[in-house]
Structure 1
Amino acid sequence: MFAITAARISFDDPLSGLEAGERPDPEPREGWTTVRVKAASLNHHDLWSLRGIALGQDRLPMILGGDAAGIDEDGNEVIVHGVVTEPAAPGRSPRFSLLSEIHDGTLAEKVLVPRENLLPKPPELSFEEAACLPTAWLTAYSMLFGKADLRPGSTVLVQGAGGGVSAALIALAARVGHRVYVTSRSEDKRARALELGAYAAVPSGERLPERVDAVFDSVGQATWKHSVRSLKPGGAIITCGATSGDASPAELTRVFFLQLRVLGSTMGTKEELAALTEMCVRTGLRPRIDRVLPLKDAHEAFRVMAAGEQFGKIVLVP
């Protein structure tokens, strides 16, 4: 089968480790099933894997990708939940990994996944739309509805318009009635954020006209100070990543004096993915797709993501 593989690790030149070509078909495994991939979407996790974050040299070559929608062995249209529960050693809690960390991922014509990781794909969603949900949109859904503890009509800030998680946060938060502020260095991305439903979009680092109840930050070092200083007393930062590096300094004086909350969030549960899918069906909300490319053009897709040129999700189709 044709697949996109991390063949080498390079922190400074991640795309140099990307290879496209034939790989063996998945081998049958008890409790697992093969899904014929109809669409897969990219995430920054794929780029970090090429840099050696969560993927070591000892596990290469590794097929990349954590998101997919396709057709299972029984002919059902399905969405793949990419969080895999690993067997627990006696006396220990189960470990979790994402597809492409220990088990081959979804940027291929076929992917082997645990049967319990499959959800029915509603006919209302295209394969391309469904493939955007399991990581970026699920992360945003879990941050907004599982971690933030917000009332309808709250004020929120989404740092860094453009990426899949940010675009999802803007759309979801606006849909439930929050006043959404967005930051971006790009005037074009600020305009697109307004199209998604943002209340206002400002240049990165610019002071907001009011303090907010919650900040959603996936950027880290470049935005952390602004995130902390944008909060009302008692407000919360919900963080799911640090694409610009770890935050330093941490602004701890302001955190404890204003009794701020810092909450971490990673991915989401299969139940949350099912609820998110249902929300999309019932409301008509759909993921913003920046572009759809053939799987063979994965290098260009990774280049666009690494350069931050996209707004929304990049989808690859075998």
Structure 2
Amino acid sequence: MTSAENPAHRAPAGPFEDYRNLLFSVAYRILGTAVDAEDAVQDTWMKWSAADRSQVAEPKAYLVRIVTNVAMDRLRSARARRETYVGPWLPEPILTGDGVTSGDAGEDVALAESVSAGLLMLLESLSPLERAVFVLREAFGFGYGEIAAAVERSEESVRQAAHRARGHVRDRRPRFPATPARHRQVTERFLAAAGGGDINTLMELLAPDVTLWTDGGGRVRQALRPVIGAERVATWLAGVAGRAYEGVAPADMRVEIAELNGAPGLVFHGAGRVLATMTVELGADGRITAVHNVANPEKLAAVTAGTVHTLRR
């Protein structure tokens, strides 16, 4: 369905249009894919259109409740499909940032972290309820009572779900937020070293236990298992840099740095299309602890479309 056919893109609809970005932001963090998030927003529009709005005292809370439950239902269905996914499953990358910030550096970093590929991958191991509660609480700052109403559970069960989710994330994902400038600097050095097959510089940039995740979805050539360890990752990156990919020679590829999922990332172009995206995560010492490479054509539509999503609450 094109944007022109999508009811959610028609004439302004008051509160729905006011909160559309928020609805997408909630759905994307729960689902991890832009296409599913857009579908959830469309379903929300349909339910909103059919509702007796004279009975809706707080449109924002009402719309968030709808999109959260739609996203949770879609996530349950998606989980079954992801169990048979070929190779590692990575979130669908999106372009973020339109120059608008909250004015609070700490909040901006937290918002960027809430949409990072690494965190979204980690949230895959939570139950749909835990994931929804975590997103609403940690990314958007909703109160427990508001979340309880949104997910149609008791406030006590929501508090317990939030506690479990926070513990799960905290135990598996130490936070070492890098400044955007530092992240971009490392990304630029990484691009130059990988593109030039400079294994020595790559070894300097990569943490000893770095993990490379590549997502081709069985549709394009990619590693079917995570590549672990600095030497193996550096060798893999240097090797692919010198070979044609999907019929496109290295000399015919163009790479640009863009903000992907809240941080600087790489977008690879060739033969008139987006071939792949790549992002890196940094550890406490500034070295790269993870590389996320998405090449499944079905997951590149959002970047290809060029739509930029804001991170504002």
TM-score greater than 0.5 by the shorter chain: no
Higher strand share: 1
Structure 2 length-normalised TM? 0.27
Higher helix share: 2
